DNA sequence: CACCATTTATCACACCCGTGATACGTTAAC
DNA sequence: GTTAACGTATCACGGGTGTGATAAATGGTG
């Protein structure tokens, strides 16, 4: 059966299985045996591509961070140049929604990222990735606000970052009360306030 | 040795030990054996006061929710009546800071609450408490904004709720970049925007 | 075909977990 | 003093985990 498999593909397949487990059972649900079962592999195979448990988690964290980086890079801050008023709000909203759980795919990624961030509090493996993701988000937001001519883009970026974290936490949790619609709405309200663009009535 | 112990005191002692473990190792670190050791008791004693693992977690969650409720009840919304401008911002800030990790005690409680909320995504035991806490916070904020004459207190409360969640998540995590000072500052900025009170320069 | 490296598959070990059952000592009431 | 309830302390079981070591099977290469 060892049909000259591409090791990178295999690793991706395993990491994806780990993601599914995080979504389904949370970070503690990610065990080597469960990951192997979820990926349709034997535990021996998984351990052939990953040194051990810690290594797998580190790889998954790295992948998660890269996905978030890719999402953020998709809408570079320079693209916001020249926008103002209603258009600025809309453009900024689209940027921020890249990392909010407004659809299935983004929801799954948001779950993984949030579990990772909280776990980074007690598991050193996750700390670097968590810090990098926070820094990346802050930087993108800061640049975007600067391009839009916002005074104090640093403080503004901190506000939006906090809002993103809170909205995500509320949306992925079964408080239930916060669906994608209300997430969008709350985000838009905050951005309007921040950019000084009154709501269109 | 069974010197007629007050069962309630014992249960509190055990739950406190569970809290310390959540802070130190996260939710998965709360095992019966570790809790017993942390409380300075034998596992048999712990199991004498709690049906089992699930029961202990439920009790801890309940206690956590009640503590948050007490914190919120300490500054009732009616106390904000008549405030406006700078005073309104200050009063609202004090209220919200009750549930933010701005000192050691509140930080520990915030850690427990956040771990609980995220865990509620996959553990039904926590769901009711998590939902209740979110509802309580929203209600207090809504009333406060209503008393302060804010138009759309519901939407405003959602914004502050999200901000609280995000600030907490960032502050208890070793992103490090967000100390109590910046938490206060970011909160104040957001409240000023929300209440329409420009920053005193 | 034979050979070797890669891949897959198992086994065994030690550890931690929750839980049921049970024994032991202490305390209070009768 | 006797008795019953309470609190404490252990034992054993089954299950899950990470990990080390090792065997088996396969595919390409010489």
Average pLDDT value over all residues in chain B: 93
Average pLDDT over residues A112-121: 98
H or E segment to which residue A133 belongs: helix A127-147
> C23 C1' – B9 CA distance, angstroms?
26
Would you call A158 and B186 a contact, using CB atoms and an 8 Å cutoff? yes
pLDDT at res. B4: 64
* pLDDT-above-70 percentage for chain A: 97
Mean pLDDT of A180-201: 92
Is the distance between the Cβ of B6 and the closest atom of strand C smaller than 7 Å? no
Query: Which two structure tokens, joined as six digits, stand for B163?
Result: 């901000």
User: How many angstroms away from the CA of A153 is the closest CA of chain B?
Assistant: 12
pLDDT in the model for residue A2:
37
Query: Is the distance from CB of A106 to CB of A23 less than 8 angstroms?
Result: no
Residue B134 has pLDDT above 70, yes or no: yes
Distance from residue B8's CA to nucleotide D7's C1', rounded to whole Å: 14
The token pair at B116 is 């609980």
Q: Count other C-beta atoms under 10 Å from residue B113's C-beta.
A: 24
Q: Which of A125, A169, A185, A198 to mutate to test the interface with B (most CBs of B within 10 A)?
A: A169
Q: Measuring from the CA of residue B32 to each C1' atom, give the nucleotide at the shortest distance.
A: C18
Bin A26: left if φ > 0, else alpha if -120 < ψ < 50, else beta.
left
For residue B201, the model assigns a pLDDT of 61
> Chains A, B: CB contacts under 8 A, how many?
137
- B111: which chain A residues are within 8 Å (Cβ-Cβ)? 121
Mean of pLDDT over chain A:
93
Q: Which nucleotide is nearest to B30 (CA to C1')?
A: C17
Rounded to a whole number, what is the largest CA-CA distance in chain B?
65
> Residue B2: is its pLDDT beyond 50?
no
Check pLDDT > 70 for residue B66.
yes
pLDDT of residue A4: 61
Task: State the average pLDDT over residues A173-195.
Answer: 91
- From A77-81, A122-126, A135-139, A153-157, the region with the lowest mean pLDDT: A77-81
* Residue pLDDT, tens place only, B9-28: 999 999 999 999 999 999 99
Locus of tokens 């300075």: B40
Alpha helical stretches, state H, chain B: 7-25, 32-39, 43-49, 53-74, 85-97, 104-119, 127-147, 153-172, 180-195
A25 interaction partners in chain B (CB closer than 8 Å)? 122
CA B184/CA A157 separation, integer angstroms: 15
Position B76 confidence tier, pLDDT thresholds 50, 70, 90 = confident
The CA distance from A197 to B14, in Å, is 52
Q: Are B26 and A119 in contact (CB under 8 A)?
A: yes
Position A1 pLDDT exceeds 50: no
Protein CA A44 to sugar C1' C12 (Å): 14
Contact A156, A136 (CB under 8 A): no
B115 contacts A115? CB cut-off 8 A: no
| pLDDT tops 90 at residue A36 | yes
pLDDT top residue among A177 and B165 = B165
CB-based contact B188:B89 (threshold 8 Å): yes
Protein residues closer than 7 Å by CB to strand D: A 1-4, 30-34, 43-44, 47, 52-54; B 1-2, 4-5, 7, 10, 41-45, 47-48
Which has the closest alpha carbon to B155: A91, A190, A97?
A: A190
> Are B167 and A166 within 8 A, CB to CB?
yes
| Per-residue pLDDT at B60 | 98
Q: Considering chain B, what percentage of its residues have pLDDT values greater than 90?
A: 85
The Cα of B146 is separated from the nearest Cα of chain A by a number of Å equal to 17
Q: How far apart are CA A114 and CA A107, in angstroms?
A: 10
Domains, chain A, in order of start with CATH, read 1-50 (1.10.10.60), 63-195 (1.10.357.10)
- pLDDT of residue B149 exceeding 80, the answer is yes
Closest chain B C-alpha to A176 CA, distance in angstroms: 8
Query: For B31-55, what is the mean pLDDT?
Result: 96
Query: What per-residue confidence (pLDDT) applies to A27?
Result: 98
Q: What is the DSSP string of B80-94?
A: GTT--HHHHHHHHHH
HSE, CB side, 13 Å, CA atoms: give it for residue A42: 5
Helices in A2-102 by DSSP H: which ranges? Answer: 7-25, 32-39, 43-49, 53-74, 85-97
pLDDT of residue A79: 87
């Amino acid at each position: 059966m060892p049909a000259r498999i591409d090791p990178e593909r295999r690793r991706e397949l395993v990491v994806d299985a780990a993601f599914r487990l995080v979504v389904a059972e949370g970070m503690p649900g990610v065990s080597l045996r469960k990951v192997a079962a979820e990926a349709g592999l034997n535990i021996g195979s998984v351990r052939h591509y990953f040194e051990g448990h810690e290594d797998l988690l580190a790889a998954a964290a790295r992948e998660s961070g890269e996905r978030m980086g890719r999402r953020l890079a998709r809408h570079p801050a320079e693209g916001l140049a020249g926008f103002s008023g209603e258009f600025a709000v809309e453009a900024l909203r689209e940027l921020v929604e890249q990392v909010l759980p407004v659809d299935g795919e983004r929801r799954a990624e948001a779950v993984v990222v949030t579990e990772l961030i909280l776990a980074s509090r007690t598991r050193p493996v996750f700390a670097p990735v968590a810090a990098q993701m926070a820094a990346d988000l802050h930087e993108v937001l800061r640049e975007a606000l600067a391009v839009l001519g916002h005074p104090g883009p640093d403080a503004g970026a901190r506000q939006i970052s906090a809002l993103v974290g809170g909205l995500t936490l509320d949306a992925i949790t079964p408080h239930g009360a916060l669906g994608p619609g209300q997430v969008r709405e709350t985000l838009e309200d905050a951005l309007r306030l921040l950019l000084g663009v009154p709501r269109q009535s």
